[in-house]
Amino acid sequence: MTFDGIVTLLRQLIDVLIVWFVFYFIFKSLRRNVKMVLLFKGILFILVLKLVSDFLNLVTIGFFLDYVIMWGPLALIVIFQPEIRNVLEQLGRSQLLGRHKILTVDEREKVVYELVQAAEYLKKTRIGALVIIERDQSLNEYIEKSKKIYADISSELLISIFFPSNPLHDGGVILQGDKITSARAVFPTSESLAISKRLGTRHRAALGISEQTDCIALVVSEETGRLSLAIGGELYYNMSLDEVKLTILEELRPKKLLVSDEKEDEENEENTSDDN
């Protein structure tokens, strides 16, 4: 193969990878956004209807759909401007090189230990709390608008922040690595229709920020003392302390370790099947 042929092949490969990344990101965003899902379904319906009208030679509906398809993109940009902005902001928050700091095993265990100790006390005393753990996607947008702390994580500090008489108890706390970065942070609330109406603002804020970023959101209910986690746009309600501990530990593990563990499990299964 000539040099020009290699360059052409690389150019085509890069072209395909960029298109694949764009579509992957779009569909990933669609899965977490109720309005975007409805929009996507509406576009598909119009395209199918256009194909049917062309096939059956339906002049009137075809004429109408031509105008819809011609001016539809402009109308969608105007109507769904907030959703499009959120998708672009999410892309801007992505960090291609991973989270700010890869925690060691001891650091991960310390973070989770302090979180669980604080959650246990808050649960017993029924003090509401919202703790957001940053992962690969930056939360600087929300940190800039909150009260900066930059302190080592400790259960005592977390408890004191959420104590009702503390002026910082409203809003959420943001963790970066093993540090408490800020408090009194405000997050977008979820508009998902699946979430129960009985759940309050903290749960909706936890679900909302988990829909827009890859963070882990821990919620302590003020009314019931129940613990919940929001991860990837899913709310896991009324979890035990052990479930919270194991889930956060697993979610904070570096991706490389997760991949290697999966490979080891597959190899062990193959070896077991060979022995049988």
- Three-class DSSP labels, 169-236: CCCEEEEECCEEEEEEECCCCCCCCCCCCCCCHHHHHHHHHHHHCCCEEEEECCCCCCEEEEECCEEE
Question: Residues 139, 233: one domain?
Answer: yes
Q: Which residues contact 255 (CB under 8 A, 6 or more apart)?
A: 98
What is the per-residue pLDDT for 28? 64
CATH for 243: 3.40.1700.10
Question: Residues 31, 7: one domain?
Answer: yes
How far apart, in Å, do the first and last CA atoms of the chain sit? 48
Question: Residues 86, 62: one domain?
Answer: yes
Question: Residues 30, 150: one domain?
Answer: no
Question: Residues 109, 88: one domain?
Answer: no
What is the per-residue pLDDT for 35? 63
d(Cα 28, Cα 149) in Å, to the nearest integer? Answer: 33
| 252 close to 103: Cβ distance less than 8 angstroms | yes
Question: Residues 75, 118: one domain?
Answer: no
Residue 99 counted as domain residue: no
Rounded to a whole number of angstroms, the CA Rg of the chain reads 24
pTM (two decimals): 0.64
Digit-coded pLDDT (tens) for 141-151: 899 899 999 99
Adjacent-strand bridge partners of 173? 131
Question: Residues 202, 162: one domain?
Answer: yes
Of the candidates 32, 66, 93, which is a domain's last residue? 93
Residue 272 counted as domain residue: no
Residue 273 counted as domain residue: no
The percent of residues in the chain predicted with pLDDT above 70, rounded, is 78
Strands 172-176 and 129-133 turn out to be: parallel
Question: Residues 200, 232: one domain?
Answer: yes
Question: Residues 113, 143: one domain?
Answer: yes
* Choice between 154 and 265, residue whose per-residue pLDDT is larger: 154
Confidence of residue 96 (pLDDT cuts 50, 70, 90): very low
Residue 196 counted as domain residue: yes
Question: Residues 87, 202: one domain?
Answer: no
Question: Residues 11, 82: one domain?
Answer: yes
What is the per-residue pLDDT for 256? 58
Q: What's the domain count of the chain?
A: 2
Confidence of residue 259 (pLDDT cuts 50, 70, 90): very low
Range among 37-51, 58-72, 119-133, 198-212 with highest mean pLDDT value? 119-133
Can you give the residue range of the structural domain that contains 144?
105-256
| 241 close to 120: Cβ distance less than 8 angstroms | yes
Question: What would the mean pLDDT of 149-178 be, rounded to a whole number?
Answer: 93
Question: Residues 161, 199: one domain?
Answer: yes
- Residue 199 Cα distances to 11, 93, 132, 219, 237, angstroms: 51, 28, 18, 11, 10
What is the per-residue pLDDT for 257? 52
Question: What would the mean pLDDT of 161-182 be, rounded to a whole number?
Answer: 93
Digit-coded pLDDT (tens) for 110-135: 999 999 999 999 999 999 999 999 98
Of the candidates 68, 93, 118, which is a domain's last residue? 93
Cα torsion through 103, 109, 114, 120, rounded to 10: 140
One-character DSSP codes across the chain: --HHHHHHHHHHHHHHHHHHHHHHHHHHHHHH-HHHHHHHHHHHHHHHHHHHHHHHT-HHHHHHHHHHHHHHHHHHHHHTHHHHHHHHHHHHHB-TT--S----HHHHHHHHHHHHHHHHHHHHHT--EEEEE--SB--HHHHTTSEEEEEE--HHHHHHHHSTTSTT-SSEEEEETTEEEEEEE--PPP--SSS-TTS-HHHHHHHHHHHHSS-EEEEE-TTT--EEEEETTEEEEEE-HHHHHHHHHHHHS-HHHHHHHHHHHHHHHHHHHHH-
Among 178, 166, 179, 173, which residue's Cα sits nearest to residue 202?
Answer: 173
Compute the mean pLDDT over every residue in the chain, rounded to the nearest whole number: 82
Digit-coded pLDDT (tens) for 186-216: 998 988 777 888 888 999 999 999 988 889 9
